[in-house]
Amino acid sequence: MSVFKFKEFSVRQTASAMKIGTDAMILGSLIGTENAMHGLDVGTGTGVLALMVAQKKRNLEILGLEIEREAYEEASYNFENSPFNAQLSAIHCDFLHFEHAPFDLIFSNPPFFENSSKTNSLKRNLARHDDSLPLTDLFRQVERLLTQDGHFWVILPATTCDEYLPIAERLGLYPEQIRSIFGKENQLTRKVVAFTKSQKPTSFSEFIVRNTDGTYTEMYKKLTLDYHFNELK
């Protein structure tokens, strides 16, 4: 059984197609919870993002949505066996057909390999390709379910992010924060964006994951300090 151990909880990731990686660690660590009371994790997978956010704020109720049944069952197991089980619940559901009262915090590590070749695994394709959740539809549904003063946090490939920002704005979601994520110096790979429904000046920042020798940067160690069970090198 594959288990990823954190400081305050553990995540079983045997059934879920996408395992815990740097993207989840960065996004989960960056998500802001100020003033949030009702959170939604779109495509929860193992439930790792919901668990990380629950650790930050113990009175924040979080619902995890997952379209793939085995991943949903695994997220449910991880929620129930965590110290935050009273805060967390999971639903086996297609986000595009999800009906619910608005949330003041929505977050997602969405499928975004929309132009890459597909594998023979249906579960992995659902997790990695945007056929089941096109980004335009994701933004449209988020706008519908987000409160007026709520925030939507998402991590995307840098090129995809730049392409979809104008689309998100046309749908009523505006970037309040954009953090460019570099795998190593000068190697831009991802962008983490916090969207709101209000047009405000966008705050820009940069973040580097690894040094040139492959070790983790001090900024990455500091960001994930509350989560990693083992000391990073």
Question: Could you read off the pLDDT of 172-222 as tens digits, one per residue?
Answer: 999 999 999 999 999 999 999 999 999 999 999 999 999 999 999 999 999
User: Which amino acid type is present at position 13?
Assistant: Q
Q: Which of 9-23, 93-107, 140-154 has the least mean pLDDT?
A: 9-23
The reply to whether 102 falls in a domain is yes
What pLDDT is recorded for position 15? 81
More confident residue, 135 or 233: 135
The reply to whether 45 falls in a domain is yes
What pLDDT is recorded for position 131? 53
What pLDDT is recorded for position 66? 96
The reply to whether 121 falls in a domain is yes
Residue 39, φ and ψ in degrees, nearest 5: -110, 155
The reply to whether 207 falls in a domain is no
Average pLDDT of the residues in 36-50: 97
What pLDDT is recorded for position 17? 76
The reply to whether 27 falls in a domain is yes
pLDDT tens digits for range 53-76: 999 999 999 999 999 999 999 999
Tokens of 171: 């749908």
Tokens of 17: 């197609």
What pLDDT is recorded for position 138? 96
What pLDDT is recorded for position 145? 98
What pLDDT is recorded for position 129? 40
Nearest to 82 by CA among 223, 227, 220, 224: 227
Is pTM beyond 0.85? Reply is: yes
The reply to whether 180 falls in a domain is no
pLDDT tens digits for range 116-153: 444 454 344 444 445 557 999 999 999 999 999 999 99
- The Cα–Cα gap between 107 and 42 comes to 6
For residue 51, the enclosing domain spans 3-153+160-172
| Chain centroid offset of residue 46 CA | 11
CATH number at residue 109: 3.40.50.150
- Residue 229 has a CB neighbour count (10 Å cut-off) of 11
The reply to whether 136 falls in a domain is yes
* Sign of the torsion formed by the C-alpha atoms of 192, 204, 57 and 138: negative
What pLDDT is recorded for position 16? 79
Q: Which residues contact 86 (CB under 8 A, 6 or more apart)?
A: none
Q: Which residues contact 91 (CB under 8 A, 6 or more apart)?
A: 63, 64, 65, 66, 72, 98
- Residue 155 has a CB neighbour count (10 Å cut-off) of 25
What pLDDT is recorded for position 120? 53
What pLDDT is recorded for position 124? 45
Tally of domains in the chain: 1
The reply to whether 183 falls in a domain is no
